[in-house]
Homo-oligomer: A and B are copies of this chain.
Amino acid sequence: MERITARYYIETPYPVERAATVLAGEQSSGTFVAVPGETEELKNRFAARVEQIEHLETVAQPAIPGASSPDGLYRRAFVDVSWSAENFGHNLPTLVSTLQGNLYEITQFTGLKLMDIRFPESYANYYYGPRFGIDGCRELTATDIGKPLIGTIIKPSVGLTPAQTAETVGVLANAGIDFVKDDELMAATANSRFEDRVDAVMQVINRHADRTGKKIMYAFNISDEMEPMLRKYEHIVKSGGTCAMISLNSVGLSGTKRICDLGELAIHGHRNGWGMLNRHPLLGIEFPAYQKLWRLAGVDQLHVNGIQNKFWESDDSVVRSIASCLDHAPLDKPILPVVSSGQWGGQAFETYRRTKTTDLLYMAGGGIMAHPGGPAAGVAALQQAWEGAVNGLTLEEAARQYPEFGQSVEKFGNLQFDRA
């Protein structure tokens, strides 16, 4: 029988083996006294199994305050646990309840993070996954292989009218951009009805496409309750749009999969709320596990933050997340990583050096709109940065070779994100 295996990073005040047994027990049997009907046969078929334990360091302070250890020590380890696919079948929410669920409540742990999930073969047959993915998004935007998709976010995040948004999109289209998106704060405001915004923006995009043959991808933020979300999706389709954006953590797995299953638009997965699930080193979920769940749900593009970003995340973590999106398991359908947060082109060199890929949606905000030569120069600067990075130039060499990128370096090169 096929099994799903989860890897956890745990910390426990007790022997690791004992804590691991509690973990497996709680998530497949789980009560505090033996009950009738819990036969050996049933246990063999449905009980979770501790597959492997890798002991790590021991520390003197618990990662999550609260519990205290009898011997003053807290033991860390990687623990692999497996479940029979028979326990839940193809049901992503129940899979999540099984692999995460009450585990974070258990006193035997002073830290627990779901690191990764290994799915069996049958999942690749059952789940369609991303309809468009990297190749599809390149095709929809007519972006050549070997270049990242260059994108930006409409700013200010909230408050522009549809006409103002469309005007900005027109400027960006003429500037040669591949992708534009709503901010996650922008769904529909009192002065920007969703449908009006779609109509205004798509008129600009369709006209530009007629003229140039290039249809910009605009990720309209449809995040909402179920019925309005479906209605908004349909409105995008009817208007000739190619993409819808979902705030994954706010909408949730079932709602998101329902939308992905429609299959007519590329789905831009925004992970806002991610810090809550991930920022603590020993609580929550790591990106490899997270992206697999959303990949199975069918998300085409997923945020990974960026090198030298303005948030708390380390470059190492960003690099791992990009690799994880590009990894072929499960489904043999990679997700397009969305690189953003304080990007202006200067980070292209380090990003390429560390990831060796241009299969990225590379997002810059102020880096484009606030370029001293205007938005067209801003987009050109980003394209130049990537061309330079791929050709092995250093940032300094590229700044000398390309005038627009040179101006970017002058304006943004010494930019310290206001971390203070």
Contacts and interface: CB of A to CB of B under 8 A. Distances in A.
A97 B158 contact: no
A108 interface: yes
A324 interface: no
A107 interface: yes
A190 to B, nearest CB: 4
A60 interface: no
A148 interface: no
Interface in A70-89: 70, 86-89
Contact of A164 (B37, B255, B370): B37
B255 A104 contact: no
Interface residues on chain A, size class:
35 or more
A280 B280 CA distance: 9
B32 A342 contact: yes
A239 interface: no
A249 B32 CA distance: 24
A276 B254 CA distance: 19
B369 A36 contact: yes
Nearest to A22: B418
Interface string A218-253: 000101111111000000000000000001011111
A184 interface: yes
A27 interface: yes
A301 B251 CA distance: 21
Contact of A93 (B155, B247, B418): B247
B157 A108 contact: no
B273 A97 contact: yes
Contacts of A418: 22, 32
Interface in A269-287: 270, 272-277, 279-281, 283-285
A102 interface: yes
A187 interface: yes
A415 B33 CA distance: 10
B313 A87 contact: no
Contacts of A157: 28-31
A156 interface: yes
A276 B155 contact: no
A185 B30 contact: yes
A107 B285 contact: no
Contact of A254 (B46, B225, B275, B283): B225
Contacts of A225: 91-93, 253-254, 257-258
A403 interface: no
Given A30-B155, A279-B64, A254 B273 contact: no
Contacts of A342: 32
A153 B30 CA distance: 11
Given A155-B30, A164-B37, A312-B106, A189 B251 contact: no
Given A365-B32, A366-B33, A87 B254 contact: no
> Closest 4 interchain pairs by CB?
A252-B252, A104-B275, A254-B255, A33-B366
Given A29-B155, A32-B310, A42-B160, 13 more contacts: A32-B417, A33-B366, A65-B281, A89-B190, A94-B247, A96-B273, A97-B247, A100-B273, A102-B275, A102-B311, A104-B274, A104-B279, A280-B283
Interface of A: 14, 22, 27-38, 42-43, 45-46, 64-67, 70, 86-89, 91-94, 96-98, 100-108, 153, 155-160, 164, 168, 183-185, 187-191, 221, 223-229, 247, 249-258, 270, 272-277, 279-281, 283-285, 305, 310-313, 342, 365-366, 369-370, 415, 417-420
